Structure 1
Amino acid sequence: MLTTISIYLTSILGAFLTFLVSTKYKQGPVRASALLTLFVASTCSLFSELFSEDIANQIPWVFFGASFVGMTSSKLTRNYTSIIFAGIVFGFIYTVSPTFFNGYGGALGTAACISILVVIGINNLIRLLKALKKKKNLLKKL
Structure 2
Amino acid sequence: MKKIISVVAFFLIIAIHLIFLTSILFEKINTTWVVLGVILITAMITYSYYHSSTEQEDHFLIDLQDIFYIAIGGVTTYFLNVDLKLGAVIAAGITGTLAALIPYLKPKSNTFKRIPLTVYCGAFVGMSQPNVASGYSFILFACFLTGILFIGAKNLFNGFGGKLGTLAFGGVAFASLLIYLFL
Deviation string 1:85-107 (CA, Å, 9 cap, x unpaired) is 11111111111112332343200
2 CA distance for matches of 1:14 and 1:5? 15
Indicate whether 1:93 and 2:152 are aligned: no
Which of 44, 67, 70 is matched with 2:123 structurally?
A: 67
TM-score between the two structures when normalised by the length of structure 1: 0.80
Q: How many residues align?
A: 124
Q: CA RMSD in A?
A: 1.5
2 CA distance for matches of 1:11 and 1:65? 6
Query: Which residue of 2 is the match for residue 120 of structure 1?
Result: 176
Query: Which residue of 1 is the match for residue 85 of structure 2?
Result: 26
Q: CA deviation at 1:48?
A: 2.6
Unmatched segments (≥5 aa) in structure 2: 1-59
TM-score between the two structures when normalised by the length of structure 2: 0.63
Indicate whether 1:3 and 2:62 are aligned: yes
Query: Which residue of 1 is the match for residue 105 of structure 2?
Result: 46
Deviation string 1:38-58 (CA, Å, 9 cap, x unpaired) is 112112223234xx32x2222
Return closer, same or farther for 1:122/1:24 CA change in 2, 3 Å cut-off.
Answer: same
Percentage of matched positions with identical amino acids: 25
Question: Looking at both structures, which has the greater relative contact order when contacts are Cα pairs under 8 Å and sequence separation is at least 6?
Answer: 1
Aligned partner of 1:89: which letter?
L
Query: Do the aligned partners of 2:102 and 2:116 also contact (CA within 8 Å) in 1?
Result: no
Which of 13, 23, 37 is matched with 2:96 structurally?
A: 37
2 CA distance for matches of 1:16 and 1:45? 23
Query: Which residue of 1 is the match for residue 37 of structure 2?
Result: none
Aligned partner of 1:88: which letter?
F
Aligned partner of 2:134: which letter?
R
2 CA distance for matches of 1:29 and 1:5? 26
Aligned partner of 1:72: which letter?
S
2 CA distance for matches of 1:63 and 1:105? 17
